[in-house]
């Protein structure tokens, strides 16, 4: 019988092969979103399809199954143990779905995305309805294949935020919703509203970029292990732990898009750049979940980047790059304006106070769909009703309502809650960090290193070695608790809106 060490070595070799495919797929995608000439796309799409198929074949191979069987419960190497668990998850996820059903589903997904695009343009949900009905049915079926303890929707949540359950979300969201709607009401009735029109004015792209690069460097983004490019849809992508790229979009009439966008993507990138190099070339070498990832981007974008102390440090530098009109805007005016609260129809345009309410609407609806409590045909009415209930506004059409997000069209049910979890995680982590150091003082003096070190030591380095809730409990010494987000928002927005 083969020595366990020798099996482990062979297993690591297989992981390297998988990782090589992952890296070139990521490179090809980065290139397709940033640099590729338009006529090159057609063949490139075929190439990416081929590579993704090769990777999928390895992930679900008999060879992989055999490694799992021979190593599970036998290896004493912690990294290999976790890698085996990760591979088993992926293996099971694929192998439990009959291959003909999976093929049909993949075709349905790509068809649905195209139909959704058209339906959104025409603001006509009825076009999309039959596709969404099928997508819901497939997801219900898959959820049953994968299995769950309590609620069928749990099986879908597991794909994005393992460990998080419907029961848990029902609890935290109901607390959060009450507090947020109260706060939004207070803000609405406040007489002391900030004036975001002071933020407008022509701000050349080059100057926005120069300022943003300064910020990125200071918060600790390593340009020797990454780069910044332009795109329509900003993103962070990890080619490898020493090549973590981000993109942004510049609006020359509104610097907020690029500046806060870069800090947001930079937050994702700091996570990826600081995963332990011991995990390189394994499936563990990346952020542990959508929600923890989002906690890092939101931590930097909002809890740091939209804080008063951040601009105490940066406002002078910012003004040296900004249009002259900012000379007449006081730091206080500026700070209040970048934190304006205003209920909006579109999730991705929402401020940090109302954002989680957008998520809760989607959560209630997709949970209902998967549980069979809601019919797809009633979705528009229910969406609009919840918008009025949670945010006090009603979308003028499906384009600004139920058709605004691509997620469901791509079959992604269980994904949305991660965004709201990211907010709660970020606030809870921030609260713990504040017990250990004076964050405001550090930020106001531009000394971000202790903060990044702490995040790296407590979160980043582990990659997927710890599950999301394990991270939260290890770091904050308690379970997920929405009170910290409420506390943070209440304090901040009560001060801004007096």
Q: Which of 13/253 has CB closer to a second copy? A: 13
- Shortest distance, position 226 Cβ to a second copy, whole Å: 6
Q: Which of 35/167 has CB closer to a second copy? A: 35
- Shortest distance, position 473 Cβ to a second copy, whole Å: 32
What is the spatial distance between Cα 273 and Cα 488, in angstroms, rounded to a whole number? 28
Q: Catalytic residue among 265, 301, 364, 366, which?
A: 265
Q: Establish whether 268 is an annotated binding residue.
A: yes
- Shortest distance, position 10 Cβ to a second copy, whole Å: 15
Give the footprint of a second copy on this chain (CB under 8 A): 16-17, 19-20, 23-24, 27-28, 31, 35-40, 42-44, 46-47, 50-51, 222-227, 239-243, 245, 280-281
- Shortest distance, position 251 Cβ to a second copy, whole Å: 23
Q: Which of 37/73 has CB closer to a second copy? A: 37
Q: Establish whether 264 is an annotated binding residue.
A: yes
78 catalytic, yes or no? Answer: no
Q: Which of 281/467 has CB closer to a second copy? A: 281
Q: Which of 47/126 has CB closer to a second copy? A: 47
Q: Which of 223/406 has CB closer to a second copy? A: 223
- Shortest distance, position 314 Cβ to a second copy, whole Å: 25
- Shortest distance, position 472 Cβ to a second copy, whole Å: 30
| Binding site residue list | 264, 268, 294
Which residues belong to the active site? 265
| Binding site residue list for Zn(2+) | 264, 268, 294
């Amino acid at each position: 019988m083969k020595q366990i060490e020798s099996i482990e070595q062979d297993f690591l070799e297989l992981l390297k092969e998988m990782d090589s495919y992952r890296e070139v797929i990521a490179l090809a995608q980065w290139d397709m979103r940033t640099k590729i000439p338009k006529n090159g796309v057609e063949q490139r799409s075929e190439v990416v399809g081929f590579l993704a198929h090769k990777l999928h074949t390895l992930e679900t191979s008999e060879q992989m199954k055999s490694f799992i069987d021979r190593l599970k419960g036998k290896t004493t190497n912690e990294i290999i143990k976790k890698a085996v668990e990760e591979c088993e998850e992926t293996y099971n996820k694929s192998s439990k779905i009959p291959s003909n059903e999976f093929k049909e589903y993949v075709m349905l997904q790509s068809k649905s995305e195209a139909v959704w695009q058209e339906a959104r343009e025409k603001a006509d949900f009825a076009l999309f309805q039959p596709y969404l009905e099928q997508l819901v049915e497939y997801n219900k079926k898959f959820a049953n294949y994968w299995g769950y303890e309590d609620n069928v929707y749990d099986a879908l949540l597991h794909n994005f935020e393992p460990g998080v359950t419907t029961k848990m979300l029902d609890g935290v969201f109901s607390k959060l919703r009450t507090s947020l709607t109260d706060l939004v009401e207070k803000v609405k009735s406040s007489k002391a509203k900030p004036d975001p029109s002071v933020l407008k004015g022509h701000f050349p792209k080059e100057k926005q970029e120069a300022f943003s690069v300064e910020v990125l460097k200071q918060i600790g983004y390593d340009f020797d292990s990454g780069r910044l490019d332009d795109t329509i849809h900003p993103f962070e992508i990890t080619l490898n732990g020493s090549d973590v790229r981000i993109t942004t979009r510049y609006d020359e009439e509104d610097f907020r898009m690029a500046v806060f966008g870069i800090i947001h993507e930079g937050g994702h990138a700091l996570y990826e750049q600081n995963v332990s190099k011991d995990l390189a070339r394994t499936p563990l070498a990346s952020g542990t979940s959508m929600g923890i990832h989002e906690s890092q981007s939101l931590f930097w974008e909002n809890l740091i980047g939209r804080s008063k102390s951040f601009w105490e440090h940066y406002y002078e530098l910012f003004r040296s790059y900004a249009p002259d009109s900012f000379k007449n805007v006081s730091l206080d005016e500026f700070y209040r304006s970048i934190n304006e609260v205003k209920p909006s129809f579109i999730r991705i345009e929402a401020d940090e106070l109302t954002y989680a309410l957008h998520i809760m609407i989607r959560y209630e609806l997709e949970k209902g769909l998967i549980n069979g409590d809601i019919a797809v045909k009633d979705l528009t009415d229910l969406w609009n009703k919840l918008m009025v209930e949670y945010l006090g506004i009603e979308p003028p059409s499906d384009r600004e309502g139920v058709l605004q997000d691509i997620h469901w069209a791509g079959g992604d049910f269980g994904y949305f809650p991660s965004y709201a979890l990211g907010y709660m995680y970020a606030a809870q982590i921030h609260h713990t960090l504040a017990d250990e150091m004076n964050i405001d003082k550090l930020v106001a003096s531009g000394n971000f290193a202790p903060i990044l070190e702490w995040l790296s030591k407590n979160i980043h380095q582990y990659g997927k070695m710890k599950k999301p809730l394990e991270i939260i409990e290890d770091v904050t010494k308690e379970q997920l608790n929405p009170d910290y987000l409420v506390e943070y928002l209440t304090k901040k927005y009560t001060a801004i809106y007096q």
